[in-house]
Amino acid sequence: MHRHVVITGASSGIGAACARHFQKAGDRLSLGARRSDRLPGVAAGAFHHALDVTKPASVERFVAAAIAANGPIDILVNNAGLARGVEKIAEGTGEAWREMIETNVLGLLEVTRRVLPHMLAASKGHVVVIGSIAGHKAYVGGGVYCGSKRALQPICEAIRMETLGSGIRVTSVDPGLCETEFSVVRFRGDQERAGKVYQDTRPLTADDVAECVLFAVDRPPHVNLDTIVVMPTDQATPQMVHRGGR
């Protein structure tokens, strides 16, 4: 198929898994992340470039370099994202809130707005957003992270409306508990605390989520999967997780 697939936040977790799966499918990749030194190890031979989605100049350089290296973009996987802390709103710090909103919402917009005009000109393209079940249901200590993921829903809806008739597809893949570096980042390197999130339960793997992304983009062009909500069998809501055996 040899599609040009751009993946943000490809240095770890779900983004890296998507890179591996698309590479296996024979697609051309453009991978971005702040830790760009990790990217050659994710998908050997793939084009990679430093990217900080919170910095418009970095996004500008990344998108231009991706197009120069691999041509028109067929698929954009907006994956870069993070959570910081589990403070209640009354205890929160503006710094963590800004980082989440600047990365998860504004960063995604900065990338998408630079890619969409090319897709509109080509009358095709697929924008994939990695949302979260946090965007469907809030939880104590997750207000701002949940808000940043909920914000992606009207953004996806508006893009569908604004590109209607162009052939562009928009899919949100919204995972539940998935074992990646997510919790290590959330708890600022506290491995022990991060490990507890996945303790005595069977979370999704990054590969499980990547398979959902591949499934969505592999549908025929007239089929648009709007939202895929995928959780471990042992999870019912963000905070209701079965731990221990059966």
Interface map 77-106 toward ligand NAP (x if CB under 6 A): --xxxx--------------------x---
Per DSSP, the three-state class of 133 is helix
Q: Tell which one of 46, 105, 170, 177 touches ligand NAP (CB under 6 A).
A: 177
20 belongs to the binding site for ligand NAP (CB under 6 A): no
DSSP code at position 37:
G
Cα 110 to Cα 61, 105, 113, 145, distances in angstroms: 12, 9, 6, 19
54 belongs to the binding site for ligand NAP (CB under 6 A): yes
**Using CB under 6 A, which of the segments 6-14, 88-96, 188-196, 222-230 binds ligand NAP?**
6-14
Shortest distance in whole angstroms from residue 46 CB to ligand NAP:
14
Residue that has been written with the tokens 């993070």 in this structure = 82
Give CA–CA dist 194/191, Å, rounded: 5
Give CA–CA dist 208/102, Å, rounded: 27
- Do 151 and 105 form a contact (C-beta atoms < 8 A)? yes
- Do 43 and 19 form a contact (C-beta atoms < 8 A)? yes
Q: Tell which one of 51, 144, 155, 217 touches ligand NAP (CB under 6 A).
A: 51
9 belongs to the binding site for ligand NAP (CB under 6 A): yes
Shortest distance in whole angstroms from residue 113 CB to ligand NAP:
16
**Catalytic residue among 22, 97, 145, 182, which?**
145
Shortest distance in whole angstroms from residue 33 CB to ligand NAP:
4
